[in-house]
């Protein structure tokens, strides 16, 4: 698997996992879990963007 594709897949996974954690934190009224979910969701988006840049650059 190309590096760019791997970053896209992992980014999407982390974004989905972050969304789930964020919702779980909201439902259980747990601000720490919600914050961790938001952070993971953002990290996933960044990783996806890195994958897109790698694809454009041909890495």
Mean pLDDT of the residues in the chain: 92
**pLDDT above 70 coverage of the chain, percent:** 98
- Domains in the chain: boundaries: 3-57
28-39 pLDDT, tens digit each:
999 999 999 999
CA-wise closest residue to 21 among 2, 45, 40: 40
Look at residue 10 and tell me whether its pLDDT is greater than 70: yes
Q: What is the 3-state secondary structure (H, E, C) of 18-58?
A: HHHHHHHHHHCCCHHHHHHHHHHHHHHHHHHHHHHHHHHHC
pLDDT of residue 3: 85
Q: How confident is the model at residue 59 (pLDDT cuts 50, 70, 90)?
A: low
């Amino acid at each position: 698997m190309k590096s760019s594709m791997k970053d896209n897949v992992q980014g999407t996974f982390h974004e989905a996992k972050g969304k789930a954690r964020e919702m779980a934190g909201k439902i259980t009224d747990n601000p720490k879990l919600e914050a961790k979910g938001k952070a993971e969701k953002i990290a996933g988006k960044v990783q996806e963007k890195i994958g897109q840049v790698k694809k454009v650059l041909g890495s």
